[in-house]
Chains A and B, each alone.
Chain A
């Protein structure tokens, strides 16, 4: 079990670091230029991508450090497979919410190239979903 978790963790960490590299490249290329429908949307998209990159870097580095230390790896494995945490994740929307938010983010990214109104509408919907998801998580963490 823990061996397959190691493989998943390594793959996840590498993907996270690749994403960070891609965001760094985008930042270097479009630091001052607007590549979307207007400058505000470009800046917002780059800011959002950078924020996600910081989170991805944190989790990737945590994963890579855990791969070198058995006790950290066991704690991480327990945290990820803990049945109460999985129950809370399922109750608060879990995978469905994540897929919906990823879809909205991708839609907003595409919309950013042709319509400002659609971009903000999709981003607003995504942020609202994220807020609902967080509220459910906080509620179930207290209730369960």
Chain B
């Protein structure tokens, strides 16, 4: 799944480590989310979106899944 996490991190001047610590996951999880290898759970997606002050659909791109 595509995400806007890298852009949002850059805009907020956050490293992967800092974002990971803020949402309670490891840096590797953030890296996997950014590369699209791993799909976040609803709870993690909510925490990331809330951290940036956005809604889940503004951070994660669900268009690939809409046809399913």
Contacts and interface: CB of A to CB of B under 8 A. Distances in A.
Nearest to B24: A78
Interface residues of A, number: 11
A70 interface: no
A81 B24 contact: yes
Interface residues of B, number: 13
Contacts of B40: 83
Interface of B: 20-21, 24-26, 28-29, 32, 37-38, 40-41, 44
Nearest to B26: A82
Contact of A79 (B26, B32, B37): B26
Contacts, number: 31
A85 interface: yes
Interface of A: 74, 78-79, 81-85, 87, 143-144
B21 A78 contact: yes
A144 B26 contact: no
A84 B28 CA distance: 8
Nearest to A142: B37
A144 B37 contact: yes
B21 to A, nearest CB: 7
A144 B21 contact: no
24 contacts: A78-B20, A78-B21, A78-B24, A78-B25, A78-B26, A79-B26, A81-B24, A82-B24, A82-B26, A82-B28, A82-B29, A83-B25, A83-B41, A83-B44, A84-B25, A84-B26, A84-B28, A84-B29, A84-B38, A85-B26, A87-B38, A143-B37, A144-B32, A144-B38
